[in-house]
Amino acid sequence: MMSIDRISLVPLERPALAATLVVWLWFVMAPTAFGADESRIASIGGSVTEIVYALGEGNRLVARDTTSNYPPEILALPDIGYIRALSPEGVLSVDPDMILILEGFGPPEAAEVLRQAGVRIVEVPEGYDRNAVIGKIETVAAALGVEEKGRELSQTVRSGFDRMAEAVGNVKNRVKVMFVLSTAGGRIMAAGRDSHADGIIALAGATNAFDAFAGYKQVTEEAIADAAPDAILMMDRGGDHAVSAESLFAMPSFSQTPAAKNAMLIKMDGMYLLGFGPRTPNAARELASKLYPGIVEAPEGGRP
């Protein structure tokens, strides 16, 4: 197909031909520009994939990445790799005509190859608050050419966040929460500010026990004692990564914390808890109901 850049090669003394080319290119390329014709879409990023399904456009997906595990039917599609360790060959092997991808994908070399492959890439901005979730929905809806569906979904999610904010508005004594990413080898990785965990803790009306650093870092036994978390929050993992409350609070790093004294360990599904997609208002409310029983009620209908 002729590139729009080639229009500049049309001599100025032939304006009629130039105008004809512009109109022709518009009618040929406009459906792609608005996402109407893309029916083979690779979705990379769990929250992006959830949004596609929430918009009722899941039938257009031909592949997903490893982090895309909801809704369950997505697991039937080919897994083209982990978002931060993509193989361009794997992504392109499904012959997509659009790649919807969450900001921060990589590695950089793979990202550069994909950008040069001639397939339309829509990069969805990441973030850790309600505005970020709404922004994701609007970006994906625009890319798919379903803006009206996007407005409806955005309003539903906004209402969920509003109800969540109202529910935690009556909380006076904020719980101090420590999110533990890993305890492998006795090395404790905790979440600081500007992280998915920090964002969901804030939405649930609680305080992050570690806000002196950004991202995820290893913390010492002394730092944990000084932070004195009231509750420990973790992803609910199985197999070798599973950690019970008994084993966690037996570790010297945690044994003297208020969380250990109250046996306060909360485990939730990782993508549900940290995905920052359409289910986030529910995830925040479920977390808040565990942190503030009797004050905040669990989400109606249970976990989606």
Q: Domain boundaries in the chain?
A: 4-33, 41-166, 172-291
User: What's the pLDDT at 241?
Assistant: 61
Assign 284 to helix, strand or coil: helix
Residues 280-300 have a mean pLDDT of: 94
Whether the pLDDT of residue 6 is over 80: the answer is no
List Cβ neighbours of 11 (8 Å cut-off, separation of 6 or more).
Answer: none
Mean pLDDT of 174-203: 96
For position 18, what pLDDT does the model report? 37
Arithmetic mean of pLDDT, 121-125: 97
Give the pLDDT band of residue 102 (cuts 50, 70, 90). very high
Rounded average pLDDT over 240-248: 81
What local confidence, expressed as pLDDT, does residue 161 receive?
Answer: 97
pTM of the model: 0.85
* Rounded Cα distance, 30 and 42, in Å: 20
What pLDDT does residue 82 have? 97
Q: First-to-last CA distance in the chain?
A: 44
pLDDT at 92 over 90: yes
Q: What is the pLDDT of residue 114?
A: 94
Please tell me whether residue 25 adopts helix, strand or coil conformation.
helix
Does this chain's domain 41-166 share its CATH topology with 172-291? yes
| pLDDT tens for each residue of 140-169 | 999 999 999 999 999 999 999 999 999 999
CA pair distance 192, 51, nearest whole angstrom: 27
Asked if omega into 293 is within 30° of 0 (cis), the reply is: no
Q: pLDDT confidence of 35, banded at 50, 70, 90?
A: low
CATH of domain 41-166: 3.40.50.1980
Stretch 179-204: mean pLDDT = 96
pLDDT higher than 90, residue 239: no
The percent of residues above 70 in pLDDT, for the chain, comes to 85
Please report how many Cα atoms fall inside a 13 Å half-sphere around the Cα of residue 18, on the Cβ side.
11
Query: Which pLDDT score is estimated for 243?
Result: 83
State the fold for domain 172-291. Rossmann fold (3.40.50)
Mean pLDDT of the chain: 88
Q: What is the mean pLDDT of residues 88-109?
A: 96
